[in-house]
Amino acid sequence: MALRPIIILPDTRLREISRPIERLDSATGSLIEDMLATMYDAPGIGLAAIQIAEPVRLVTIDVAGKDEPPAPMVFINPEITWASEDKNVHEEGCLSIPDYYEEVERPSRVRVRFRDREFKEQEIDADGLLATCIQHEIDHLNGVLFIDYLSRLKRERVTKKFAKAARQG
Ligand code: K1U
Ligand code: ZN
């Protein structure tokens, strides 16, 4: 298990489309362990593999409250198979855009098909914070960031701020 560096805006790898995982092997098992450790260390409630520069369709999430035991979830090749008409607004953050939070509107409930860490097919219905988080993470697998849902003014402002910070090292 290793803590892995999280890539930060404007790293262009955040815009890559991640590839599906074909089979479970020891490399994927190690990557899952690294992602969970990196997510808890950050700390964050979710992580997509591309955020540690691994362009594969793998997501970890733990939305347990701070007084609850850890509840790590692993999603391999997740796909949204249904989304509710009704929407929910939630404040979002991103470990790849540190210390920036904005409200985003998304479907309030989604059904997600995925493979678990034994590579068994599963389907879950998600609502609340889990629904917000899984949609945010699946967006990462498609090169989409939560700032893409903001006004052009806000998106350009935050993009310029992070580009300047990257130039200044
Ligand atoms: O994908 C990521 O960058 C992780 C991101 C997930 C997320 C947060 C909020 C709404 C949607 C998706 C984060 O975990 S940002 C950090 C964060 O929200 C948090 C950190 C510590 C405690 C509680 C929340
Ligand atoms: Zn994110």
Establish if 4 belongs to a structural domain: no
Establish if 5 belongs to a structural domain: no
Establish if 118 belongs to a structural domain: yes
Structural domains of the chain, count: 1
Cα(37)–Cα(77) distance, integer angstroms:
20
Domain of residue 150 covers 12-167
68 belongs to the catalytic site: no
Tell how far the Cα of 30 is from the centroid of ligand 1, in angstroms: 22
Tell how far the Cα of 152 is from the centroid of ligand 1, in angstroms: 22
Establish if 6 belongs to a structural domain: no
Establish if 3 belongs to a structural domain: no
Establish if 47 belongs to a structural domain: yes
Establish if 7 belongs to a structural domain: no
Terminal-residue alpha carbon distance, the chain: 28
Main-chain dihedrals φ then ψ at residue 18, nearest 5 degrees: -80, 150
Closest residue (by CA) to atom 12 of ligand 1? 133
What's the pLDDT score for residue 37?
98
Establish if 159 belongs to a structural domain: yes
Q: pLDDT tens string for the chain (169 positions)? A: 899 999 999 999 999 999 999 999 999 999 999 999 999 999 999 999 999 999 999 999 999 998 999 999 999 999 999 999 999 999 999 999 999 999 999 999 999 999 999 999 999 999 999 999 999 999 999 999 999 999 999 999 999 999 999 999 8
Tell how far the Cα of 118 is from the centroid of ligand 2, in angstroms: 25
Cα(79)–Cα(59) distance, integer angstroms:
11
Cα(152)–Cα(18) distance, integer angstroms:
25
CATH code, domain carrying 132: 3.90.45.10
Cβ of residue 62 lying under 6 Å from some atom of ligand 1: no
